[in-house]
Structure 1
Amino acid sequence: MPAISTPVSDTDLERDAETRLVHAVFPGDTNHYHTLFGGTAMAWMDQAAFICGTRWCRTKVVTVHSSEIDFKHPVPEGTIVELVARVTDTGRTSLTVRVEMFIEPMDRRERTLACSGQFAMVSLDENDEPLEVPAR
């Protein structure tokens, strides 16, 4: 059965401007201090930015720059992590995605900002040439 296309609304664009990913922090994700490896945190953040950018542009997007990643709290083994990625700005062929990582203990309702950063993404066409992005 063929897919049914519907016109894109402002509500759709606002929905596409944000992406949420959730991970459980398992022992294989942690160092000898039983906290999430910084590189794993950065990889999860880049993945969230990539998905958010792809949903916004609906094209191939690549990371061209990341700002400093501010680590505010360690991410303990056995916690839930939620990454919230949002398109915050657009240029002609690029967009900026801010990603925040929150920690939630599994046994109580509590939420702490663990780290945040910004990622610059560029939209590419089928020849890997920069392509215009929808304006924010």
Structure 2
Amino acid sequence: MRPPPAQPTEARLLEMVFPDHTNHMGTLFGGQALAWMDKAAFIAASRYSRRAVVTARSDKVDFRLPIRQGQLVETIARVVEVGRTSMQVDVELVAEDLLSGDRRTCTRGRFVMIALDSDGRPVAVPQLPA
């Protein structure tokens, strides 16, 4: 008998930065960056728990480098800690210049996601493997 497959703990999304994603400086709006990060955290936590999840908190989002119009953005979310009903998800945005291939981590943050049952109440999630 095979052991059950391990839950995926990571999600990766790709987006292009188009003009409607930018501010007057031609760089990615902070709100757009947060939306992409929250979306990736949602997917990672949902896949890990196999439950409906909601965002409870975002912690210390660091905007280190600007992300420019025309760059590709890879959003990487990883479930790094699990409580009884919560999952802490580290998320980073990596900007890539499509012509040169240069990649830089521009933004990092942590999101706390809560798993819910069918009635919308917090429900236990599996513990991370040791």
TM-score norm. by structure 2 comes to: 0.94
Provide the rounded CA distance (Å) in 2 between the counterparts of 1:41 and 1:8.
35
**Offset of residue 7 of structure 1:** 6.5
Q: What CA deviation, in whole Å up to 9, does each residue of 1:102-130 have, x standing for no partner?
A: 00001012110110000001100011111
DSSP 3-state at the match of 2:34:
helix
Partner of 2:91: 99
Provide the rounded CA distance (Å) in 2 between the counterparts of 1:123 and 1:78.
36
Partner of 1:117: 109
What runs of 5+ residues in structure 1 fail to find an aligned partner? 1-5
Partner of 2:66: 74
The residue type equivalent to 1:35 in the other structure is T
Provide the rounded CA distance (Å) in 1 between the counterparts of 2:117 and 2:3.
22
Partner of 1:84: 76
What runs of 5+ residues in structure 2 fail to find an aligned partner? none
**Offset of residue 8 of structure 1:** 3.0
Partner of 1:3: none
Decide which structure has greater helix share: 1
Q: CA RMSD in A?
A: 1.2
Q: What CA deviation, in whole Å up to 9, does each residue of 1:64-106 have, x standing for no partner?
A: 0110210000000000000000000000111100000000001
- Give the count of matched residue pairs: 127
Partner of 1:61: 53
